[in-house]
C-alpha cells in the first residue's frame, strides 16, 4: 500500500521515493497516535474552553480575551510568545526551538499560520447549541462524533491540534527537531486588514523556509490534504435605489420603481443558465494550470455524486466541470440579499432600497480591483448609473437606475508550484503521517492571506487543513468531526519533524 502510494506520487510529481518507507517514521507515527488516543478528553477539553470565548474580530474585548488565553496555552508549553499590538489588533507570535538534532544537520524553519477569530454569529439560527457553548454530539470514542460551536473547526481546532502535537512528540520522546514559528491572526475573517503592517513591522519573527496555513477543511473525500494555494477574494456591496422612502404598494404599485426588482434584473444579467459569469473580461486574466497541476487535479477522487446527494443538489452549476476544475476559476457569488422585510415582518410596501452582497473569488493573476471594475462596467452596460458613494437627491432625480457599488477589502490568490524542493518535502512529511494517499490541491477554494505572506516575506506558502469539509464553516451549527482532530494532530506532529529541504 505504501509502495503503491509512493509510486503514484512519484508518477505525479516525479519525486524520489523517500521517508515514507522509513520504519522509524512509522514507529514515531504510532507513538504519537497512541498518545493522542490516551489523551482525547484532555485535548477536547482544551478546545472546548477555547471555543467558549466569543471571537468576532470586530469585538476588541473579545479578541483580546482570546489572545490572552492563547498566550497562556503557548507559554504553558514553553514557547517564546509575543503578543503584538498592531494598530489595536493583538497579533500573537510564538517560537519553538528545535528540541532534538535534525537528521540532516541544519534544521529547516517552518512558519505556521492560524487565526483565532471567527465569523459573526446569528444565535437564532443555531439548532444544536448556542454558538459559544461547545457541545459534543456523540461519544468521545466515536470518530464521527462532532463538537458544535463557532470556531470549533475554523480555526481553533488546528491551533489545539498543533499544541497537542507538541505534547505528543515530547511524550513520545521524539520531540520537535525543527525551528517552528507561529503567527496567530486575530482578524482573518474580516480580511486581516492589519496583516501587511504586522508583517512589515515584525517580519524578523516570521522568517522561515516555508509557510504552512493550518486552516480550512480537507478535501471532501476526507483524505489528508495538502493545498498549494488559495483563491483570493474581494467583496462588493450593490445597493439599488427606488423612491426616497418606502411607499404603500397599493397607492403606488405600478408607478413607483421597485429597487428589489431592479436589483434582481441586474443580478440575473450577470450569469448564464449554467452559472457561468457573463460579465465581460471576468475570466480574461486567469493563469492557466501547469501540466503537473492538471494531473494533480485529475488524480483527486471524484466527490460530486456524493455531494449532490447529501446536499440535495439536482444539478450543480459549472456546465459539467468538476468541483476542482471550478475552484481554479474565479467565481461570483451572491452571498446575501435584502430588501425591506420577509416573513412575519413583511408589509405591503414598495421598498426604498435593495442590497446584494457579492463575493468574487479570485484565482492567480486576477487583480481584485480590476475584477470589481468589470462588475461596475457591467452594471453601467445594463443601464445603471454607477456611484461609489451614497447618491444625492439630484443624482437620483436624474438617473432612472442608480446603483451604489462599494468594494470591500481585497485579497489576491496565491499558488505555489507543486514540484519544488519545499513542495516535495512537505508532501513527504504529510505522507509519513497518514495511511491513505493524500489529496494534493493546486488551489483551495477558500481564501487565506497566503498572497500577503508570499509577496511580503518571499517564502513559498502551503496549506495543510485538517478539519472535516462538512463543518458548516462560516454558517450556523459549525462543527468539528472528532476523527479529523485526532488525525490532524498526527499530521501536524510530522510537520514538526519536517524533512530536509533539498535543492532543485
Residues 452-481 that bind its own copies (CB under 8 A): 469, 472-477
Residues 10-49 that bind its own copies (CB under 8 A): none
Write the CB contacts of 315 (distance below 8 Å, at least 6 apart in sequence): none
Residues 100-139 that bind its own copies (CB under 8 A): 119-120, 122
Least separation in angstroms between residue 135's CB and its own copies is 18
What residues are paired with 54 via a beta bridge? none
What residues are paired with 362 via a beta bridge? 232
Least separation in angstroms between residue 452's CB and its own copies is 16
326: contact with its own copies by CB under 8 A: yes
Which of residues 139, 204, 291, 342 is near its own copies by CB under 8 A?
A: 342
Which of residues 20, 349, 414, 485 is near its own copies by CB under 8 A?
A: 349
305: contact with its own copies by CB under 8 A: no
Residues 135-174 that bind its own copies (CB under 8 A): none
Which of residues 97, 251, 381, 409 is near its own copies by CB under 8 A?
A: 251
Number of residues that bind its own copies (CB under 8 A): 99
Least separation in angstroms between residue 444's CB and its own copies is 7
Pick 291 or 343: Cβ nearer its own copies: 343
Pick 34 or 302: Cβ nearer its own copies: 302
Write the CB contacts of 210 (distance below 8 Å, at least 6 apart in sequence): 108, 110, 111, 422, 426, 459, 460, 461, 462, 501
Grid cell, residue 247, equals 411607499
Q: Looking at the chain, how many residues does it have?
A: 504
Residues 386-445 that bind its own copies (CB under 8 A): 393, 396-400, 444-445
| Residue 168: closest CA among 410, 464, 491 | 491
Which of residues 48, 109, 225, 447 is near its own copies by CB under 8 A?
A: 447
Residues 214-233 that bind its own copies (CB under 8 A): 216-217, 230-231, 233
Which of residues 9, 256, 387, 427 is near its own copies by CB under 8 A?
A: 256
Residues 48-67 that bind its own copies (CB under 8 A): 58
Which of residues 40, 175, 201, 257 is near its own copies by CB under 8 A?
A: 257
Judge contact between 470 and 135, C-beta under 8 A: no
Neighbours of 275 (CB within 10 A): 15
Pick 241 or 462: Cβ nearer its own copies: 241
CA 432, 436, 441, 445 dihedral sign is: negative
Interacting stretch for its own copies, rule CB under 8 A, among 74-82, 204-212, 337-345, 373-381? 337-345
492: contact with its own copies by CB under 8 A: no
CA 136 to chain centre: 23
Grid cell, residue 293, equals 497541476
Rounded-to-integer distance, Cα 61 and Cα 391, Å: 35
Write the CB contacts of 319 (distance below 8 Å, at least 6 apart in sequence): 274, 275, 276
Which of residues 153, 225, 258, 494 is near its own copies by CB under 8 A?
A: 258
312: contact with its own copies by CB under 8 A: yes
Rounded-to-integer distance, Cα 179 and Cα 501, Å: 13
Rounded-to-integer distance, Cα 440 and Cα 389, Å: 43
Residue with cell string 461547545? 134
Pick 260 or 405: Cβ nearer its own copies: 260
Pick 133 or 261: Cβ nearer its own copies: 261
Least separation in angstroms between residue 479's CB and its own copies is 11
Pick 37 or 308: Cβ nearer its own copies: 308
Which of residues 311, 389, 458, 503 is near its own copies by CB under 8 A?
A: 311
DSSP string, 33-88: HHHHHHTHHHHHHHHHHHHTS--BTT-HHHHHHHHHHHHHHHHHTT-EEEEEEETT
Rounded-to-integer distance, Cα 361 and Cα 333, Å: 8
CA 421 to chain centre: 25
Which of residues 337, 365, 456, 500 is near its own copies by CB under 8 A?
A: 337
| Residue 394: closest CA among 256, 244, 257, 263 | 244
CA dihedral 312, 299, 463, 411 (to 10 degrees): -70
Pick 369 or 397: Cβ nearer its own copies: 397
Least separation in angstroms between residue 12's CB and its own copies is 23
382: contact with its own copies by CB under 8 A: no
Pick 359 or 367: Cβ nearer its own copies: 359
Least separation in angstroms between residue 339's CB and its own copies is 4
Rounded-to-integer distance, Cα 443 and Cα 416, Å: 9
Least separation in angstroms between residue 399's CB and its own copies is 5
For 446-475, give one letter per residue: b (16+ CB within 10 A) or e: bbbbbbbbbebbebbbbbbbbbbbbbbbee
193: contact with its own copies by CB under 8 A: no
502: contact with its own copies by CB under 8 A: no
Which of residues 100, 128, 171, 323 is near its own copies by CB under 8 A?
A: 323
Pick 176 or 449: Cβ nearer its own copies: 449
Least separation in angstroms between residue 351's CB and its own copies is 7
Pick 177 or 220: Cβ nearer its own copies: 220
Judge contact between 504 and 177, C-beta under 8 A: no
Amino acid at each position: 500500500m505504501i509502495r503503491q502510494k509512493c509510486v503514484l506520487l512519484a508518477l505525479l510529481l516525479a519525486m524520489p521515493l523517500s521517508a515514507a518507507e522509513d520504519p522509524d517514521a512509522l514507529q514515531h507515527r504510532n507513538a504519537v497516535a497512541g498518545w493522542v488516543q490516551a489523551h482525547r478528553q484532555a485535548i477536547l477539553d482544551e478546545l472546548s474552553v477555547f471555543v467558549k470565548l466569543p471571537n468576532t474580530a470586530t469585538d476588541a474585548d473579545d479578541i483580546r480575551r482570546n489572545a490572552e488565553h492563547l498566550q497562556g496555552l503557548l507559554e504553558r508549553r514553553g514557547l517564546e510568545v509575543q503578543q503584538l499590538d498592531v494598530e489595536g489588533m493583538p497579533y500573537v507570535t510564538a517560537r519553538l526551538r528545535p528540541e532534538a538534532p535534525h537528521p540532516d544537520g541544519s534544521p529547516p524553519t517552518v512558519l505556521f499560520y492560524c487565526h483565532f477569530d471567527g465569523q459573526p454569529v446569528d444565535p437564532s439560527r443555531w439548532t444544536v447549541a448556542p454558538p459559544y457553548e461547545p457541545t459534543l454530539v456523540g461519544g468521545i470514542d466515536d470518530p464521527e462524533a462532532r463538537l458544535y460551536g463557532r470556531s470549533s473547526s475554523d480555526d481553533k481546532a488546528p491551533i489545539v491540534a498543533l499544541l497537542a502535537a507538541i505534547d505528543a512528540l515530547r511524550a513520545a520522546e521524539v520531540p520537535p527537531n525543527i525551528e517552528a514559528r507561529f503567527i496567530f491572526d486575530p482578524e482573518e475573517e474580516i480580511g486581516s486588514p492589519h496583516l501587511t503592517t504586522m508583517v512589515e513591522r515584525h517580519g524578523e519573527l516570521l522568517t522561515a523556509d516555508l509557510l504552512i496555513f493550518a486552516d480550512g477543511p480537507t478535501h471532501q473525500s476526507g483524505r489528508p490534504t495538502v493545498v498549494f494555494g488559495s483563491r483570493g477574494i474581494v467583496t462588493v456591496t450593490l445597493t439599488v435605489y427606488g423612491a426616497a422612502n418606502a411607499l404603500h404598494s397599493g397607492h403606488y404599485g405600478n408607478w413607483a420603481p421597485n429597487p428589489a426588482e431592479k436589483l434582481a434584473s441586474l443580478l440575473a444579467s450577470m450569469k448564464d443558465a449554467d452559472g457561468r459569469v457573463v460579465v465581460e473580461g471576468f475570466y480574461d486574466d486567469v493563469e492557466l494550470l501547469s501540466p503537473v497541476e492538471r494531473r494533480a487535479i485529475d488524480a483527486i477522487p471524484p466527490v460530486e455524486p456524493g455531494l449532490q446527494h447529501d446536499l440535495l443538489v439536482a444539478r450543480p452549476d459549472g456546465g459539467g466541470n468538476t468541483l476542482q476544475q471550478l475552484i481554479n476559476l474565479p467565481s461570483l457569488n451572491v452571498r446575501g440579499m435584502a430588501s425591506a422585510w420577509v416573513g412575519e415582518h413583511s408589509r405591503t410596501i414598495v421598498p426604498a432600497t435593495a442590497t446584494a452582497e457579492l463575493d468574487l473569488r479570485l484565482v492567480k493573476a486576477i487583480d481584485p480591483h480590476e475584477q470589481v471594475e468589470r462588475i461596475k462596467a457591467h452594471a453601467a452596460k445594463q443601464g445603471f448609473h454607477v456611484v461609489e458613494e451614497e447618491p444625492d437627491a439630484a443624482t437620483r432625480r436624474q438617473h432612472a437606475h442608480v446603483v451604489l457599488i462599494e468594494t470591500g477589502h481585497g485579497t489576491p490568490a496565491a499558488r505555489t508550484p507543486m514540484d519544488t524542493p519545499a513542495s516535495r518535502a512537505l508532501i513527504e512529511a504529510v505522507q509519513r503521517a497518514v495511511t491513505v494517499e493524500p489529496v494534493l490541491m493546486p488551489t483551495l477554494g477558500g481564501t487565506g492571506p497566503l498572497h500577503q505572506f508570499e509577496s511580503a516575506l518571499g517564502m513559498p506558502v502551503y496549506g495543510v487543513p485538517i478539519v472535516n469539509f462538512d463543518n458548516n464553516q462560516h454558517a450556523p451549527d459549525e462543527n468539528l468531526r472528532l476523527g479529523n482532530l485526532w488525525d490532524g494532530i498526527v499530521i501536524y506532529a510530522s510537520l514538526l519533524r519536517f524533512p530536509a529541504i533539498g535543492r532543485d
